[in-house]
Amino acid sequence: MEARQESENATSRRDARAREIVLTSLTVGLAVTPKFELQNYARIKSSRRAAAHADRMEAAAISAIAPQLAQRFVAFAVFSGEIVNHWQIVEPTVREALIAVPVSERILLAKGEIDTRNEIAKRIFEAVDQSFRLVALPAMPANNPGGWWALAFEQEYGKPKPGGTLPV
């Protein structure tokens, strides 16, 4: 009984730590996003030509930013119902969360406002957390071999099945 409870506590600590790391990673992801992409996302118009294509530029910026931020969930197995998936399944949710951010906050983000960056990262994380069940994968070893998360996913949940999970 005690061993089971210790195992559950260790898993919940692992999940909490992984969530904290991903939230920080999302914030960093927004911080390192190229300024022109953030300006396009915020619809900041620097020329008449840009103003004429603001909708397309905004859509292109969201299409560029969403996969980068979705990849920050690589440390999780993502459950949609009873089906386990890799991080790619969260990209549409990240995209929707980015679209839902008001333009006024996007402008502050493009200007480098740290509190706004943290708030947007938190909203993205909460949107994904509400849409899916996130389960942290085992910790990465110190020597950090390439493809570790894919290997950890395979060890925990088996090889991806056609139609059941997305490929790595």
Q: What amino acid is encoded at 105 in this protein? A: E
pLDDT at 143 over 60: no
Strand order in 76-80's β-sheet?
A: 83-85, 76-80, 133-136
Residue 137: per-residue pLDDT: 78
Regarding predicted confidence, which is higher, 134 or 148?
134
Answer whether 98's CB lies under 8 Å from 29's CB.
no
pLDDT at 111 over 80: yes
User: How far is Cα 162 from Cα 83, in angstroms, rounded to an integer?
Assistant: 12
Task: Give per-residue pLDDT as tens, 113-126.
Answer: 999 999 999 999 99
Q: How many CB atoms lie within 10 A of CB 133?
A: 13
